[in-house]
A and B are shown apart, each in its own frame.
Chain A
C-alpha cells in the first residue's frame, strides 16, 4: 500500500465523502480514514436531504459536480418541493431518504467512480506538521476546555497572521504513518463526543459508536482554539406498533423534481425522471397539554436544564423540553413520523428531539394518540462535541495557522448534511489545489471573480482538467455571497463564529432571488467546469439546455400575442403561466419543460432581479476592496481597540467581509479604508511587513 497521498480526509460523513469525491475527480490521490467504513455517509439524524435553503445547496453541490444530489435522487422515498405556494426563488427541494440505501449508494459511488481513493479503517491519533519556516513562538499544548464557548476571548492565536507550520503526515492509533501534502478534517460530532439521555452519559459520537478522543488534543496542540456545541436527536419507533389511523397522511409530490441536473437534463429529450425507489408517505400529528405537563414535571431531569450540558444547542431545532419552556403558551407542537427506509421498521419522530431520561420518553410516547402502544427502538439523546472556532479558517477552509490543514462540516460549527457536504466539496477542491502547488495564493475576493470570467475562455477550449493536475490554479476556489448559498455559508462562518450549530436559511442570503434551486447550474455550472469537476457529458447537456433556453427566450421576445405584447412580456405578468401561453400559441407546446420552466421563472423575476443587481453592485464595491494579508492593524491610528482585535482575529479578506464581522461598524470600515488608501499611496512605509 502506498504510504503517500496528496490529500488525506479524516472522517467519512457527508463532508468527508464529498471531499474525497472532489479530490479524486481532480486526479489527486486521496485516503479517507474513518472509524468504520461501513458507516460512510450515514444519516445520523433526520432521514432526509434538502429542504428550504438546504435544497438549494444540494443543487449547487450537484451543479459543481458533487456527489450528494446523485445519491439523494437514487435513494429518495418521498420527494416534495417545499414552499410551492410561494415564488420559485424560495422553493426548496426535499426528499425523505432510505438512510441505509443512501449510505450504501454513496459508498458505491466512491468505490466505482473514485479510482484514486483508498478507504482506511482507523482512528487518527495525530496530524504531523513541520515548521513552515516562519519564526513563531511555540505554544504550550493547551487542552480544550470543556466549556470553551467563548469564541471572542481567545488571544493566544491572535498574534499569528502567518501559518506557523505545515501538514506533513497523519499518524493512526495503530502507529502507522501516512505521509501527505494536505489534510481535510471532517469529524462531525465525534470529537470528544459525549451523549446524554437523562442522567445517563455515554462516550461516543453516535449510538453504538466510539468517539474520536485524541484528535482534539492534536488540534489544540497545533494552536487551534476549540469550542463545544450540542445537538440532539429524537427517539425512533417501531413501525408496526404505531396506529397510523390517528395521523394525518402527508404524501409526496405527484411530479417529483430530482436534485441532480443529470436527472433533469434528459427531459430536454422528453425523458422525464422518476424516482427509482418506491415512494412512501409521512404522517403528521401533534403533542398535547398532558405531554407538556409531563415534561414540565420532569424538567429537572433534562440535561439541558439540570446543568449537565452547558453547550449551546440550536434555536431552530430545539428539543421538545426547550419548546415547552420557551413557548409556554402553546398547547401543541407538530410531530412528523418519517420512515427511515423501505426495509427497516424504524420510524423517525421529527419534532420530538429530547434528551430526557428513557422512562420519561416512554411516558411521552404513551400520551400521544396513535403511539399508545408504540415501542421505542432507540431513545432520543443529546450529543456534545468539540468544534474549531471558524474565525481560524480562511474562505478556502484552510486553517490560518497550519498550512495544508482544511476543516469542513460540523467541526466548523455547522449543522446539517447539506451544509457539511457543501464545505466538504470546497475543502476537497482547495486541498487538491494546495497539494499541487504546496501553497495557495492568498484568499482574494477577486480571485473567484476571475474564476468565473476565465470559465468563458475555457469553455471554448473544450479542455478538461481531469488528467492535468499541473494546470490546477494555485488560487483557492471561493464562491461569493452573490454566487451561491455555499458562499453565504462559508462567509458567515468565518465572519460570525456561530453561537449555535449553524443552519442555512434563505433569509441569510441577501441575494436570495438570484440564488435559486432552478438556476444553480447557470450560476455554478461554468465554475464547476473550470474547477474540473464537471465532466464532458454533464457539460454538453448543460450547454444544450442553456442554448435551448436562450434561443427560446429570443423566440418568445419576437413572438407577439394579442395587443402587441410579446410572448415573453406576457409571461412576466403575475396572472399568467406557461400553460396559458401555450393555449394562445399552441406551437409552443413542443418546448421541453425544463426550458419552459427556466424561462418562466427568469421572466417573472426579471424586474426584481434588476433591482437586486443594483444592490449586488453596491455590495461588490466593498467586496472588491481587498485587505492585504499582512495588514498590521495595531498601527492603524484611530481604529478602536475592539476593532483592532476583531480584525486581527478574523483577518478579513476584503472590506465587505470586514464589515460583516460581528461588532464591526461602518465607522471602523471608514478608518480602515482610509488607512489602506494611504498605505497604497506610500508603499515604502509598510515594506517591513512580511508577505
Chain B
C-alpha cells in the first residue's frame, strides 16, 4: 500500500440508495474536487459543509461513433452536499472530502471516474482505516474494529465490531495493565532502591496481585466471543456411538428428513449437515458418523492422518479403510465445531470409554443429550445423571429428549441456541480476534510464571511481569523503562 497520495472510493453501500457518498482522502482532495464544482470556492471558504453543484463532462468513452455521443457535454448536478474535514480534524489525519450525491449509482460512478481521471487513486479495501491507523488517529484495536465492521454481515458481528471500534478492549485492558505496572514498580523499587527508606511489597500481597491480574485477564477472555466465530454461522456437531440416535435427533431439529435413519447401528456413514434455525439464529448442525468406540483402538482415532492410521492398522481391507476415513472425518468435525453435543442412548446412559479419551484430548462436550426418552420408563421426572457421573465435567448440562414424542425438544433448542450463541453479546461481552486472545493468554501465562517464581527472587518475578507487559503491549503499546521509573518516583521518596 502506498500512502501520501489522494485516494477516492464510494463509501456508501453500492446499489440504489437515497444518497451515494463519494469520499476522498489525501493532500490533493480539495484541489480535485474544486476542479469539478461550479464556482469553485477558495480553500479558506471550504468550510465544513456546503451545498454545491457539480459539473461533469460526460464524454463518452466509446468514442464519437456511438450514438450516445450526442449526449456529450456538461452535466450539471445540483444539490450535492460537500463536507470538508480539515486534516487536523479528519478521520485519516489527511484532507478528507465527502460528496453526498443523489442516490444514483451511475452518477456516483461518473463522479468517481472524474476524480480518478483528475489524479485520485481508487482506494484499496480498508485503506481509509489504514491511513487513520498509520496517522495515529486510531489505535490498532480500533483499526481492527473498523476492519471487522466493514466485513460484518450480521447484526451480532456489527455489534462486536462497534465495541472494538469504541476501543472497548483497550479500555478494559488498560486498568489491568496499570495494576501490573504498579506491581512491577513495587518490585523494582525493592530491587533498585533496596537501601532506601521505602516499604516493599510482601510476598502474599504480591501473589494476590498477580493472581488478581491473571484472573481479570482470564475473565476478559471468558466473557468474550471470538470475532472469527461471529463471521460464520456457528456449527454444532452431534457425536456419539452408533445407533445413539443422532440422525433422528438431527432430522427432528431440522424439521425434515436430512438423514436416513434406521435401527441398524452405523447407518450414517458420513458427516451430514443441515441448516437449523434456533431461537437466537441460524446454525449449521453436523451429524458425525457414529464412532464405535468399543470396537476401535483409540490411537488411529486420535491421529487425524488417515494414512498414518492405516499404517498402524493390520486390517487393510477396503471396508476397514472406509471405517477409518469416516472416523477421521468425524473427528475433524468435532475439532472444528463451535459446540459439541454428546448424544447417548438414554437406555444405556454411560459415556463410552474411548470417547472419554478423545474428550480429554480435544474438548469436553458442551451438552449431553440422552435420547430415546420415550423408551426410558418415567423419563419425564427421571432424575438425570449429572455430567460427572457420565465422565464429563460436572457443569456440563444434561438433557433427556425424545425425538419421537417431542419431549424435551423445545428445551434442547434453547439449550443449543445459548450454547452456540452463548454469549449473545450482552453489553459486557467483548469480541476478540485470535491475535488478542493469543496475547492475553500469553500475558496470563507470564503472570503465572511470575507467581511461581516468587520463591526464586523478586528479579525473576519481575521478568514474568515484564513479559506480561510486553504481551499486552502488542495490543496497547509498550511500556518504557522511563515510564516505570516515573511510576516509582511518583510513589516513593527515593534518594539519599
Contact = CB atoms under 8 A, between A and B. Distances in A.
Interface in B187-221: 188, 190-197
A317 B493 CA distance: 10
Contacts of A508: 481, 485
Interface string A316-345: 111000010011001011111000000000
Contacts of B194: 52, 82-83, 85-86
B467 interface: yes
Contacts of B415: none
Contacts of A640: 134-136
Given A316-B489, A496-B482, A666-B477, A512 B459 contact: yes
B4 A52 contact: no
Given A315-B489, A671-B134, A507 B188 contact: yes
A610 to B, nearest CB: 11
A323 B478 CA distance: 30
A435 to B, nearest CB: 35
A285 B130 CA distance: 60
Interface string B462-496: 11001100100000011011101100110001111
Nearest to A605: B460
Contact of A507 (B4, B191, B455): B191
A335 B496 CA distance: 7
A628 to B, nearest CB: 21
A297 B279 CA distance: 75
Interface string B333-354: 0000000000000000000000
A83 B484 CA distance: 20
B133 interface: yes
Interface in A617-659: 637-638, 640
Contact of B134 (A82, A87, A314, A638): A638
A638 B4 contact: yes
Interface string A82-107: 11011101100000000000000000
A22 to B, nearest CB: 28
A519 to B, nearest CB: 14
Q: Pick from A52, A83, A85, A670 the residue with the most CB of B within 10 Å.
A: A83
Interface string A656-681: 00001010011100110000000000
Contacts of B197: 286, 332-334
A350 B496 contact: yes
B496 A317 contact: yes
Nearest to A659: B478
Interface string A344-356: 0000001101000
A11 B463 CA distance: 40
B2 interface: yes
A546 interface: no
Interface string B440-462: 00000000010001011111101
Interface residues of B, number: 44
A506 interface: yes
A638 B3 contact: yes
A83 B2 contact: no
B4 A505 contact: no
Contacts of A666: 477-478
B462 to A, nearest CB: 8
A611 B463 contact: yes
Contacts of B190: 86
Given A506-B191, A510-B466, A638-B3, A336 B494 contact: no
Given A334-B496, A351-B496, A665 B136 contact: yes
B303 interface: no
Interface string B287-313: 000000000000000000000000000
Contacts of B460: 87, 513, 608
Given A87-B457, A508-B481, A612-B463, A637 B495 contact: no
A496 B493 CA distance: 24
B275 interface: no
A518 to B, nearest CB: 14
A328 B298 CA distance: 70
A209 interface: no
B457 A86 contact: yes
B182 to A, nearest CB: 14
B374 to A, nearest CB: 59
B178 interface: no
Given A611-B463, A640-B135, A507 B485 contact: yes
Nearest to B492: A327
Given A505-B485, A574-B455, A638-B134, A323 B463 contact: no
A660 B453 CA distance: 29
B362 interface: no
Chain A interface category by residue count = 35 or more
Contacts of B196: 334
B5 interface: yes
A507 to B, nearest CB: 4
Contacts of A90: 191, 459
Contacts of B5: 637
A615 B136 CA distance: 27
B459 A89 contact: yes
A53 interface: yes
A334 B192 CA distance: 16
Contacts of A507: 188, 191-192, 462, 481, 484-485, 488
Interface in A497-511: 505-508, 510
A334 B470 CA distance: 36
A505 B193 CA distance: 9
Nearest to B93: A640
Interface in B156-196: 188, 190-196
Given A510-B481, A666-B477, A316 B494 contact: yes
Q: Pick from A89, A604, A671 the residue with the most CB of B within 10 Å.
A: A89
Contacts of A336: 496
A316 B470 CA distance: 26
Nearest to B143: A667
Contact of B136 (A316, A496, A510, A667): A667
B193 to A, nearest CB: 8
Q: Pick from B131, B133, B495 the residue with the most CB of A within 10 Å.
A: B495
Given A286-B197, A318-B494, A507-B192, 7 more contacts: A82-B194, A315-B494, A316-B489, A507-B191, A510-B481, A608-B453, A638-B4
Interface of B: 2-5, 131, 133-136, 188, 190-197, 449, 453, 455-460, 462-463, 466-467, 470, 477-478, 480-482, 484-485, 488-489, 493-496
14 contacts: A52-B193, A52-B194, A83-B191, A86-B194, A87-B460, A315-B495, A334-B196, A496-B482, A506-B459, A608-B453, A637-B5, A638-B2, A638-B135, A667-B133
Interface of A: 52-53, 82-83, 85-87, 89-90, 286, 314-318, 323, 326-327, 330, 332-336, 350-351, 353, 496, 505-508, 510, 512-513, 574, 604, 608, 611-612, 615, 637-638, 640, 660, 662, 665-667, 670-671
